[in-house]
Amino acid sequence: MQHIISIGDFDRDAIDRLLDHAGQIDKKQFDAHALEGKILAVLFFEPSTRTRLSFESAIARLGGTSVSVGSMEACSMAKGETLADTIRVVSGYADAIVIRHPREGAARLAAEFSTVPVINAGDGAGQHPSQTLLDLYTIRQSMPIDGTDVALIGDLRYGRTAHSLASALSLYDVRLHTLCPTGLELPATLAERLAEKGMEIIAHDSIDEIIGDMDVLYVTRIQRERFPDSASYFNVTSSYRISPELLAGAKDNLIVLHPLPRVDEIDPRVDASPHAKYFEQSHNGVPVRMAMLMQVMQ
């Protein structure tokens, strides 16, 4: 039995195979009855409608069924009960479990007690491997990952998706550029780990100075709660905002990604530009998650 808990459990070959499979699925080369009769339990202890819906769509596209537990329900289900017990019970109702949980490490704990495969759909500051896989998939749709210059922009301290993506990119020949407000830098331990793997990481102060050299801008949301007041929030976010004017100086094949939802980080006028790939990225969640489900449920 195989679980998918962390992107760190994948080597480069395993990632490439999974993304190749997702690519075939995207071209409609899959059996729409592959998981017929199978049940996926979607157990969300924390709301994430987007991720939930795309897993539910993925299992349906393969002929299977989902049974879902929303965040409030999940919490009341576990009230006074250990996560171990909840998982033991639910694993009797389904052929695989997708779990989202606010506590780091919860997915790995769930995997220990489950009698069916567990997929981590985000656990606190921990991992969110399906997001990272769809990020990589979206880059690959436009260009080979090797040899690219990727800029991570926004909240690099708390942004789980940026951490996971950086780790995965260290398996490839990628130069990492960082752009973030003071205090929201990449955690030192992560930066050290990436450097040990031979990744070059370059911090920048201004996006204008590097826009001409980048292949990928990976933009993440800066949460208003991180700032003492609205004025300083707007002051900071506006200096990282992606606009058509900024993109005028970019390479032709630069792509802009964002895990969504976006708020003020990307000007809506960018949506019409060929650089904008964030909605495709979101849609890619379905074929990538289909490939993940087939990997563990077949």
Residues that bind a copy of itself (CB under 8 A): 32, 37, 39, 41, 47, 49-50, 53-54, 56-57, 60-61, 63, 65, 67, 69-70, 73-74, 76-77, 79-82, 84-86, 88-90, 92-94, 260-263, 268, 279, 282-283, 285-286
**Closest CB 195 distance from a copy of itself, rounded Å:** 35
CB of 132 to a copy of itself, least distance (A): 18
Q: How far is the CB of 235 from a copy of itself (least distance, A)?
A: 18
Q: Which amino acid is at 266?
A: I
Cβ at position 67, least distance to a copy of itself in Å: 4
Question: Please, which residue, 2 or 279, has the CB nearer to a copy of itself?
Answer: 279
Q: How far is the CB of 183 from a copy of itself (least distance, A)?
A: 22
DSSP string across the chain: ---B--GGG--HHHHHHHHHHHHHHHTT-S-TTTTTT-EEEEEESS--HHHHHHHHHHHHHTT-EEEEE-HHHHHHHHTTS-HHHHHHHHTTT-SEEEEEESSTTHHHHHHHH-SS-EEEEEETTS--HHHHHHHHHHHHHHS-STT-EEEEES-TTT-HHHHHHHHHHTTSS-EEEEE--TT-PPPHHHHHHHHHTT-EEEE-S-STTTGGG-SEEEE-PPPGGGSSSHHHHHHHHHHH-B-HHHHTTS-TT-EEE--S--SSSB-GGGGGSTTB-HHHHHHTHHHHHHHHHHHHH-
Q: Report the nearest approach of a copy of itself to the CB of residue 281 (Å).
A: 10
Q: Which residues of 108-127 are buried (b: 16+ CB within 10 A; e: fewer)?
A: bbbbebbebbbbbbbbbebb
The residue type found at 262 is R
Residue 223 vs 295, nearer CB to a copy of itself = 223
Closer to a copy of itself by CB, 27 or 79: give it. 79
Query: What's the closest the beta carbon of residue 161 comes to a copy of itself, in angstroms?
Result: 15
Query: Amino acid identity, residue 10?
Result: F
Strand order in the sheet with 39-44: 65-69, 39-44, 96-101, 118-123
Task: Tell me whether residue 23 or residue 70 sits nearer to a copy of itself (CB atom).
Answer: 70
Instruction: Choose between 10 and 233: whose C-beta lies nearer to a copy of itself.
Output: 233
Cβ proximity to a copy of itself: between 140 and 283 the closer is: 283
Nearer to a copy of itself, 93 or 208 (CB): 93
Query: Shortest distance, CB of residue 38 to a copy of itself, whole angstroms?
Result: 9
Nearest CA among 268, 273, 282, 278 for reference residue 251: 273
Between 37 and 228, name the residue whose CB sits nearer to a copy of itself: 37
